[in-house]
Amino acid sequence: MRLEKQFPREIEKAKENRVPLIIPVGTIEYHGPHCSYGCDTLIAQGILERLEKEKDMVIAPPVWYGPSSWAVAGPEKGTVHVDVDIFEQNIYHILKSFLYGGWQNIYLLIHHQYEQETLLPMTLSCMKAAKKLTFQYLEEKRGMGWWGDNTNQEFYEELDGNDNPWDWITILPVMSREVQAATGYDHAGKYECSILSALYPETVKLDRVKDSNEWFIQEAVDSSPELGEEMIKLCLADLVQKIK
């Protein structure tokens, strides 16, 4: 279900049943003349729309603006870059509203700066925001020294249960290291254009690759929705196991 289309009764029931709440996180970033600016966000969102057919979940509206960086291109080519510290604060406050609102099974799904699951600015920002919030929530709700209190002596034995605070908010890549190894991973090239074109065909125009000689887009001409579907299948098989 889509969060923005729901009503309080349905949302309260989802919280009670620990239905996962998943937030696609991405960017508005230059991906060459042939690939849409919303590529990273659209891939995360599109994968969730497919996954929803297999698993009960609540899909929150995407976070469209993030620390794209200007590594690929500057603002003159349309990339919108949000400072990493500002982005972290934005994520923190979004998550705070959900956690204090009763959600304790939250996921952020990312398809940007996640090559081989390397911890780059976007992922680190989300992780830091999540852990900072979790500790603050625990201190406020359970009091300072909550972990060291004798009433918490079975903390480790209970980590496999539903009340494990370290599992309240989880950061995941769309494509795990294993999925990337099985298929491929790039920026606006053969692989990214394949998965994007399979999800949203109108967002890739391969006839425009020739409009630029940029090295990272040249193999996009070898992309195909068929390859994209193979990549999607692997992503879904991985995520259905990780999203509880």
For residue 159, name the pLDDT band (cuts at 50, 70, 90). low
* Domain-located, residue 201: no
Domain count, the chain: 1
pTM score, two decimals?
0.94
Q: In what order do the strands lie in the sheet with 106-110?
A: 58-59, 21-25, 106-110, 169-173
* Domain-located, residue 204: no
* Domain-located, residue 117: yes
**What's 70's domain CATH number?**
3.40.50.10310
pLDDT in tens, 75-92: 999 999 999 999 999 999
What single DSSP character describes residue 232? H
DSSP line for 95-157: HHHHHHTT---EEEEE-SS-GGG---HHHHHHHHHHHHHHHHHHHHHH-TTTTTSGGGTTTGG
* Domain-located, residue 65: yes
* Domain-located, residue 208: no
Q: Residue 1 class from Cβ within 10 Å (0-12 exposed, 13-18 middle, 19+ buried)?
A: middle
Number of CB atoms found within 10 A of residue 237's CB:
11
Predicted pLDDT at 82: 98
Percent of the chain with pLDDT over 70: 98
* Domain-located, residue 71: yes
Its domain, for residue 123, covers 3-175+234-242
DSSP line for 209-225: GGG---GGGGGGGG--H
